[in-house]
Each structure stands twice: as C-alpha cells, then as structure tokens.
Amino acid sequence: MSGVKGKVVAITGASSGIGEATALELAGQGAAVVLGARRTDRLKALAERIHASGGRAEVLPVDVTRRADLEQLVATAVERFERLDVLVSNAGIARTGLVAELDVDSWDAMIDVNLRGVLHGIAAALPVFHRQGRGHFVTTISTSGLKIVPTQAVYAGTKNAVRTLLEALRQESTDGVLRTTSISPGYVRTELADYIDDPEILEQTQRRMAALGITPDAVARAIAFAIEQPDDVEIGDITIRPTTQN
C-alpha cells in the first residue's frame, strides 16, 4: 500500500503547530485522521475545517501521559475506520534551564510527555499493527537532540531517548510489518516555546523562532513524504530545519 489516500492516521498533539498542519496535509491528500490533544475546542474547530473540505476526521481528548487515552485513540481509529495505518506521535513540551537549577518538576513533565507519551502510543498501537500485518510509527523529535546546548539538557535527553527507542524498535522489527520514522525539526513557528518559564530565555527563543522559523506546513509535508512510500520502503530519519539555522 503506497500513497496517503485511504490511509488511517492517528495524530497526538493535533490541536496546533505541526500536529494541526499534519492533520490538514494528510486529510487534504485523502487520509482519514483521528485527532488527539488536550484542547478539544481546537480539535473540534480543526475537524470542522477538514469536514468542510470533504475530508474525514474524528477527535477525542488525549493526554499522552495517560496510557488509557492512547489506547482509546487507537481504538477509535479501529472502530471508526476499521484499522490504523500510522500513528504520528507529535505531542511534546519544552522546558529550558540549567541542570544546576534543579527544576525537577519540569524534568518530570518532559519525561512524562516526550518519552512516556511516545511509549504509551507504541504500547497501544503495536498490537494492532502486528494483527494487521502493517503499521507505521512517525515521531516528532528535535534537532535539539542533534546539537546539544546549555539549558536544553533534559529536553534534548528526552528527545534522544526517543531516537534510541525508535532505532531499537526498528532493529527488532525487520520482518516487513513495521516502519518507523523519526522527524527532527529545527526552528518551526509553533507554540512550543510559549511555555518557557524564564522570561529572558522565552524572549530570546521567540525572537529566533520568528526570525528563522519555517512553517509547520514544511514539517507536515515531510511527514506526508515518509507516509506515502510503499510498504517496503522506510524513511528512517528526516532532519528538517531553516537553511539559516546553525
């Protein structure tokens, strides 16, 4: 099975940014999308846009730190569309700060969302993929895991943990059933930086994102490219960033 049209894709973190853009891109190419996020008001508005364009979309509240929510996301895809072809794990949070500041609560939050949330998705979808004989995990990581800088130690650590997890899963799954794709975006104009607590770092990050950032649509197109490949072709890693990012 190749192409995007006709595939069933579940997306976490779908209420804004890369998740929202991916939902619009894939639905526009004929995929059925099942959208999960905590902000259901935004999800409903997004689904209305998709429906108005003739697309197919279902929405439900999803907190990726809760395993049951991911199980329900996958179950909804199967119940509504009879299968799940792709799980796009896009939900993520960024908290910055020096390790010496010992902001353990932020560390826990990033581990729970960025790492545990991906694991919950894998646990929910993997049995379905094996039962179907086909499935694809697409996961948003970050160039922060490729270029390590101060104040991003734990954030980058969670992203690199996911990178390691997906590579190990790939090596464990060379029977042709499973595909894994890691997407590492650089500066993208999203709301990710809006939750940085330090006012100085927040201002610096927002300024750089405004000056350098590419649109979420660019990442969505990269995700669509990975998904549209024939089942025997795996796009393992995609790094996508502004040409001006160092």
* Active-site residue flag, 187: no
Integer angstrom CA distances of residue 234 from 137, 163, 178, 181 = 11, 15, 9, 7
Phi and psi, residue 196, nearest 5° = -70, 130
**Tokens for 123?**
């646990």
State mean pLDDT over 29-50: 96
Q: Among 17, 136, 121, which residue's Cα sits nearest to residue 86?
A: 136
Of the residues 21, 155, 162, 181, only one is catalytic, namely 155
Domain ranges in the chain are: 8-240
Per-residue pLDDT of 193-237, as tens digits, reads 666 666 777 677 777 777 778 999 999 999 999 999 999 999 999
146-203: pLDDT as tens digits: 999 898 999 999 999 999 999 999 999 989 999 999 999 998 977 666 666 667 776 7
Any idea which residue has 């669509």 for tokens? 224
Report the topology of domain 8-240: Rossmann fold (3.40.50)
9 touches 31 (CB < 8 A): yes
> Which residue, 86, 117, 94, is CA-closest to 190?
94
Structure pTM? 0.92
Q: Which tokens in the block code for residue 19?
A: 């998740």
Q: In sequence order, what are the residues at sequence separation of 6 or more whose Cβ sits closer than 8 angstroms to the Cβ of residue 25?
A: 217, 220, 221, 223, 224
